[in-house]
Amino acid sequence: MLDQPKILTARRAYEFHPDDLRLSVLSVAQVHQQIAQAFGFQVVQVASPMPTFGAVRTTIPPGVIFDYGTTQTPEDIPTPFRFLHFEPGRIVVDVAGPSSAIDWTFEQLQLALAEIQAPDGSPTIGIPERVREYSQISVRYDFGFEALIGGPLIEAVREGFSREGGNVLPLGLKFQLVEPDTTVSPGEIGSEGFSRGNSIELRAGTRPEDRTYLSSAELPTDLHLAWLEALEQRVTTK
């Protein structure tokens, strides 16, 4: 059983076929004020959202940004709402809680906009073509990072780089699903504007002996927690 895991972020992108997300309608003051009131957003503006699941296309209007609100889980647990961003073909929801809060949020958003249509009679929000997940969880393990990354590489690194009074420690690991013919860009994973990706690393602001890790994954929080628990079991039962 994981030792008090902390869900820091759950983020989801709902991606739409061209013209199935009517950004012009969402940019109307009456419409975005209705959304802001539903979730108590403190910041609302028509502007281009920051890139989260890739580049944001340039259009007119550029997008609608809602920041710092409140939502809840299906179990009625209040959950901080970091942002709700409408891009030209994508809705991105980010909460400081479980992914189930995003489920509830999107349902409420659809209900709030159900009677609002474009001038041609089409719905403001159509049916998403694809859903993409991302989450961050902080967890504490009983083992050090060297239990995850060992073997000849660590031995060679310590032999080549260790100095008197210090020790070379592995700090993190990135991994990504890559198709055989796809070029890779490791520096983009986890960087600003490209939050998707999978990694586990020592938690910033902690000491190695604290054995606290930050795990980022392209998974909803329930599957992410299950993966972290499976990792713990695999390491401790070697």
Does position 192 have pLDDT exceeding 60, yes or no?
A: no
Q: What value does the mean pLDDT of the chain take? A: 88
According to the model, what pLDDT value does residue 164 have? 67
According to the model, what pLDDT value does residue 193 have? 43
pLDDT, tens digit, 9 for 90 and up, residues 102-153: 999 999 999 999 889 889 988 999 999 999 999 999 999 998 888 887 777 7
Of how many residues is the chain composed?
238
Average pLDDT (195-201) is 78
- Helix ranges (H only) for the chain are 23-26, 29-39, 99-112, 152-161, 221-236
3-state helix vs strand vs coil in the chain, percent to 5: 25, 30, 40
Give the Cα-Cα-Cα angle 217, 221, 224 (nearest 5 degrees). 50
For the sheet containing 198-202, what is the strand order? 43-46, 64-72, 78-87, 90-95, 3-15, 130-140, 212-217, 198-202, 172-175
The CATH 3.30.310 domain(s) of the chain lie at: 3-134
pLDDT, tens digit, 9 for 90 and up, residues 45-79: 999 999 999 889 999 999 999 999 999 999 999 99
According to the model, what pLDDT value does residue 196 have? 62
Q: What is the distance between the alpha carbons of residues 141 and 75, in angstroms, rounded to a whole number?
A: 29
Average pLDDT (194-213) is 84
How many beta carbons lie within 10 A of that of residue 122, not counting itself?
12
For the domain made up of 3-134, the CATH class stated in words is alpha beta
Q: What is the distance between the alpha carbons of residues 180 and 82, in angstroms, rounded to a whole number?
A: 36
What is the pTM assigned to this prediction?
0.89
Residue identified by tokens 């809840």 is 72
Task: List residues bridging with 86 in a β-sheet.
Answer: 64, 91
